[in-house]
């Protein structure tokens, strides 16, 4: 049966999870906005390029990598989804596998093109992150003790694409921690296989501890003045990210209580993506970059609105209401 244009467009949006890419964009935009306020990074393209071009290029990189990963995941899981999630875009027929292949290739090319103006370091990191995403989808997600850590580490490296020399690595560590927690929680809520054993939890904990140490020490050691906090800002500003973390814990608990595990996992992923922008906004407030914080706050609002619209419109297109006379 031939699908309508709205149904096909909806299928593509669901396939790429495009609205949820707002979290990835927020991560790199935080790095851009922070770096442009620090003269020590004046030699980098992220500092020299006009702000509009920089934001566009980094958004293209972030969206490209996210779309690449989301589409690749659905393509590789098509057979599994046909049995357990027949409403997904590929099993339902809203998107053809050939179209998915073109989306995957196009998204990767877009990410690479977006990274080129940002310099050689950004391009290399983009390729490394894309390779990590490929590894996760092909192998890592089938070994959750590895996959959970890979997602967190790739998110951290992704934040460094605009500025691979950034010494303020506390925000990068927090985002990595956020992604590890979200990925682990979704795996548990959806009861994905293979199930996590005690050994898996130990492995995840050790991997998280190792990479946390690496991220924090790199930031400490490569700066001109050792430390994790910008010298020009008050350390008391850390209260803002702490409050945002506490707020997310409260919201997440409310959203997953009293609902099915599938619905809880979906809400956790949706709110988790928006919160990546709010973390960036909180860190920018902490260091006194208020206009950048406002931009990320607006991005979070637009992203959450887009996610909600796709969800609601999707239910109307795939299962339109019927009336009895």
Instruction: Report the mean per-residue pLDDT for the chain.
Output: 86
Backbone region of residue 38 per phi and psi (left: phi > 0; alpha: psi in -120 to 50; beta: other values)? beta
Q: Quick check: 225 pLDDT over 80?
A: no
pLDDT (tens digit per residue) in 138-161: 999 889 999 999 999 999 999 999
- Give a yes or no: residue 320 inside a domain: no
pLDDT of residue 5: 45
Distance between CA atoms of residues 150 and 152, nearest Å? 5
Whole-number Å distance between alpha carbons of 48 and 236 = 30
Secondary structure (3-state) at 205: helix
User: Residue 160 belongs to what domain range?
Assistant: 5-307
Percent of the chain predicted with pLDDT > 90: 59
319 inside domain: no
313 pLDDT more than 70:
no
Domain assignment present for 51:
yes
Contact between 107 and 53 under an 8 Å Cβ cutoff? The reply is: no
pLDDT for the residue numbered 1: 43
Residue 294 forms part of a structural domain? yes
Predicted confidence band of residue 226 (pLDDT cuts 50, 70, 90)? low
Per-residue confidence band for 11, with pLDDT thresholds at 50, 70 and 90: very low
Q: For residue 15, which of 116, 111, 90, 102 has the smallest C-alpha distance?
A: 90
pLDDT digits (tens, 9 = 90+) for 271-291: 999 999 999 999 999 999 999
The half-sphere exposure of 208 on its side-chain side, counting CA atoms within 13 A, is 22
Residues 162-194: pLDDT tens digits?
Answer: 999 898 999 999 999 999 999 999 999 888 888
Looking at the domain assignment, is residue 162 inside a domain? yes
Q: Is 270 left (phi over 0), alpha (psi -120 to 50) or beta?
A: alpha
Residue 313 within a domain: no
Stated pTM of the model: 0.88
Tally of structural domains, the chain: 1
Closest among 72, 62, 59 to 133, alpha carbons compared: 72
The average pLDDT across 121-140 equals 95
The string of pLDDT tens digits covering residues 187-217 is: 998 888 888 999 999 999 999 999 999 999 8
State the average pLDDT over residues 294-319.
75
- Whether 290 maps to a domain, the answer reads yes
Does residue 291 fall inside a structural domain?
yes
Structure confidence at residue 13 (pLDDT):
45
pLDDT band at 9 (very low <50, low <70, confident <90, very high): very low
- 242/257 Cα distance (integer angstroms): 23
| b/e 288-323 (16+ beta carbons within 10 angstroms → b) | ebeebbebbbebbeebbebbeebeeebeeeeeeeee
pLDDT (tens digit, 9 = 90+) per residue, 21-66? 899 999 999 999 999 988 889 999 999 999 999 999 999 999 999 9
């Amino acid at each position: 049966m031939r699908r309508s244009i709205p149904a096909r467009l909806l299928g593509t949006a669901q396939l790429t999870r495009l609205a949820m890419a707002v979290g990835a964009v927020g991560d790199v935009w935080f790095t851009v906005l922070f770096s442009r306020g620090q003269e020590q990074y004046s030699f980098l393209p992220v500092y020299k390029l006009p702000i509009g071009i920089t934001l566009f290029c980094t958004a293209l990189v972030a969206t490209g990598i996210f779309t690449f990963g989301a589409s690749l995941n659905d393509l590789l899981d098509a057979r599994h989804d046909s049995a357990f999630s027949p409403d997904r875009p590929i099993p339902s027929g809203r998107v053809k596998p050939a179209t998915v292949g073109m989306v995957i290739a196009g998204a990767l090319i877009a990410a690479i093109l977006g990274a080129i103006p940002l310099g050689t370091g950004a391009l290399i990191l983009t390729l490394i992150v894309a390779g990590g995403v490929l590894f996760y989808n092909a192998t890592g997600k089938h070994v959750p003790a590895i996959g959970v850590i890979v997602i967190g580490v790739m998110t951290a490296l992704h934040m460094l694409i605009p500025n691979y020399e950034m010494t303020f690595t506390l925000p990068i560590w927090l985002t990595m921690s956020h992604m590890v927690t979200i990925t682990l929680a979704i795996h548990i809520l959806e009861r994905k296989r293979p199930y996590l054993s005690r050994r898996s939890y130990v492995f995840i904990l050790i991997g998280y501890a190792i990479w946390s140490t690496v991220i924090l020490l790199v930031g400490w050691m490569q700066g001109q003045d050792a430390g994790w906090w910008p010298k020009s800002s008050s350390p008391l500003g850390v209260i803002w990210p702490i409050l945002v973390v506490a707020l997310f814990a409260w919201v997440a608990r409310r959203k997953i209580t009293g609902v099915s595990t599938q619905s809880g996992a979906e809400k956790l992923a949706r709110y988790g993506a928006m919160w990546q922008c709010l973390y960036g906004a909180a860190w920018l407030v902490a260091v006194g970059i208020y206009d950048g914080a406002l931009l990320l706050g607006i991005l979070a609002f637009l992203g959450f609105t887009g996610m909600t619209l796709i969800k609601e419109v999707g239910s109307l297109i795939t299962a339109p209401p019927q009336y009895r006379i």
